[in-house]
Chain A
């Protein structure tokens, strides 16, 4: 396994374009969180016993990590795979497709980690967390959430014929997930059948882990949530490896 040069290549490009990238990945979810938290929070009062901004913080954190991992593994990875032929160029060297995909997986996770850290920093600065020591557990949760959605994104990328294809994923998967997984309101507000569906979605599990940690509580059933996220991410990566091999190396 020699994935590091692939990660490094992406990092080299990112360094050049860091400012717009940071704005897009970090500022956008932050504006949503602060805008909705302060604005809508005025009308809502407390949600689940905490101010709306505090409630929103964990959801925004998970959502921001998901978004950043998804954009990187869809639009950016697709550019490298299909448009710029970067992966083809790398495959002519001693590196294997597994190296390329592992490098991309960890790169997208690194970018999503940065997005998550930015939201976490805001949570700390605004004092939205109840217990600092518990909030440190958000770091591995961010990492796991990043791995999960980067893995899924690479799987979608492996079957994409063009950029437009990603609209399906965003409109049919990401957006419903954001609305159902408890980013903006507690999932128990949903009718039972819909809540049951929401329980299958990976973002729900990321938020079930993150929200108690912001509110100073230990998550219920942490192992279950961790396993679901790991399973989605692992299955996504495995699928990506097989489908991309069929796409590029046949």
Chain B
């Protein structure tokens, strides 16, 4: 089996006495899409910055594409593409000029970059926009250009920090399509996201991170299977308090958040049959998702 593009061992980073990353271990598989999920402040972005050699850890080891970091950051980053969370495109440049300027940072010659630009624009769905100025692009186009920019050096590993935050559904689906194409071409992806749906669709493997540690890891399906029952029934209504003991007897796990009771069960039929005779209660029955796992493991408290 080929070596892992990125291995983190016992990684720790403290800010003012608080460990933002706290003994984190992570190994990502080549050619796969690995998702890093966690609430705000869980340490996702710091982990990515450590993994790129931008921040020096207080303890632990980082191997990026065979290079120890942060010592050998330059040759390692030469084989990595990064899609940052914040837009960092050059607003004074056209689409094409953005790619040209960025390619030069990798030591590519103008002719090498020019040769790559048509394919990248095609991949990003920006073929007609080569000479458009960045401020005239939509949010989705900017994100796709950022993705194309991250591919200018034909990287082995692409790191994406919340690649679809702020995009409308159409734009998000278009980015997903692009990311799937990349894994199909054998690229390794490491992405952070808040969208469980995104992680569930794209990632072969997911690590859930909280308080600077990986708290669980596995394929999306395995995480759901291992951590939660297959069905969720969300119940609300004025009779909820009275009915709750019954729900707890029928379901393996019940959790109340505000006015809603979340019931997790492998056999929803009995619960639903009873709920249908409760006029004071309304309910929604749906299959369990990664979001349920995430909320179970990281809690429902706001993290801002």
Contact A84 B93 (CB under 8 A): no
Contact B90 A9 (CB under 8 A): yes
- Supposing A13-B93, A249-B55 touch, asked if A94 and B107 sit within 8 A by C-beta, the answer is yes
- Supposing A94-B77, A94-B107, A249-B54 touch, asked if A88 and B101 sit within 8 A by C-beta, the answer is no
Interface centre among B15, B88, B97 (most CB of A within 10 A): B88
Contact A12 B105 (CB under 8 A): no
**Chain A residues, Cβ within 8 Å of B74:** 94-96
Interface residue count for B (Cβ, 8 Å)? 28
A99 and chain B: residue at smallest CB distance: B105
Is the CB of B226 closer than 8 A to any CB of chain A? no
Closest Cβ of chain B: how far from A3's Cβ, in Å? 11
Q: Which of A187-235 contact B (CB under 8 A)?
A: none
Contact B107 A84 (CB under 8 A): no
Closest Cβ of chain A: how far from B145's Cβ, in Å? 12
Contact B88 A84 (CB under 8 A): yes
Q: Return the CB mask of B97-113 against A: 1 if under 8 Å, else 0.
A: 10001101111000000
- Supposing A12-B97, A92-B77 touch, asked if A85 and B106 sit within 8 A by C-beta, the answer is no
Closest Cβ of chain B: how far from A19's Cβ, in Å? 14
Interface centre among A6, A9, A86, A94 (most CB of B within 10 A): A94
Is the CB of B284 closer than 8 A to any CB of chain A? no
Contact of A92 among B52, B93, B101 (CB under 8 A): B52
Contact A16 B102 (CB under 8 A): no
Contact A88 B75 (CB under 8 A): no
* Bound-complex Cα distance A78 to B80 (A): 27
Is the CB of A89 closer than 8 A to any CB of chain B? yes
Closest Cβ of chain B: how far from A87's Cβ, in Å? 9
- Supposing A94-B74, A249-B54 touch, asked if A88 and B107 sit within 8 A by C-beta, the answer is no
Contact of A93 among B90, B92, B106 (CB under 8 A): B106
Contact A12 B86 (CB under 8 A): no
Contact B93 A86 (CB under 8 A): no
* Bound-complex Cα distance A84 to B91 (A): 8
B100 and chain A: residue at smallest CB distance: A12
Closest Cβ of chain A: how far from B130's Cβ, in Å? 16
Contact B88 A89 (CB under 8 A): yes
How many Cβ-Cβ contacts under 8 Å join chain A to chain B? 65
Closest Cβ of chain A: how far from B85's Cβ, in Å? 10
Is the CB of A133 closer than 8 A to any CB of chain B? no
* Bound-complex Cα distance A93 to B102 (A): 8
Contact of B77 among A13, A85, A86, A93 (CB under 8 A): A93
Contact A94 B106 (CB under 8 A): yes
* Bound-complex Cα distance A17 to B92 (A): 9
Interface residue count for A (Cβ, 8 Å)? 23
Q: Which of B54-104 contact A (CB under 8 A)?
A: 54-55, 73-75, 77-78, 80, 82, 84, 86-93, 97, 101-102, 104
Q: Return the CB mask of A5-19 against B: 1 if under 8 Å, else 0.
A: 110110011001100
Contact B101 A9 (CB under 8 A): yes
**Chain A residues, Cβ within 8 Å of B54:** 91-92, 249
Interface centre among B78, B86, B93, B104 (most CB of A within 10 A): B104
* Bound-complex Cα distance A84 to B288 (A): 41
Contact of B92 among A16, A95, A96 (CB under 8 A): A16
**Chain A residues, Cβ within 8 Å of B104:** 5, 8-9
**Chain A residues, Cβ within 8 Å of B80:** 92
* Bound-complex Cα distance A94 to B72 (A): 10
Is the CB of A250 closer than 8 A to any CB of chain B? yes
Interface centre among A13, A90, A91, A250 (most CB of B within 10 A): A91
Q: Return the CB mask of A86-112 against B: 1 if under 8 Å, else 0.
A: 101111111110000000000000000
**Chain B residues, Cβ within 8 Å of A162:** none
Q: Return the CB mask of B254-270 against A: 1 if under 8 Å, else 0.
A: 00000000000000000
**Chain A residues, Cβ within 8 Å of B107:** 2, 5, 94
Interface residues, chain A, with chain B CB atoms under 8 Å away: 2, 5-6, 8-9, 12-13, 16-17, 84-86, 88-96, 249-250
What are 12 of the A-B contact pairs (CB < 8 Å)? A2-B107, A6-B105, A8-B101, A12-B97, A86-B88, A88-B86, A89-B84, A92-B54, A94-B77, A95-B74, A95-B105, A249-B55
Leading 8 A-B pairs by shortest Cβ distance: A85-B88, A89-B88, A93-B105, A92-B82, A5-B104, A94-B74, A94-B78, A13-B92
Using A94-B73, A250-B15 as known contacts, list a sample of 15 further A-B pairs with CB atoms less than 8 Å apart, ordered by residue number in A.
A5-B101, A9-B101, A12-B93, A13-B92, A85-B84, A89-B84, A89-B88, A92-B54, A94-B77, A94-B78, A94-B105, A94-B106, A96-B73, A249-B54, A250-B55
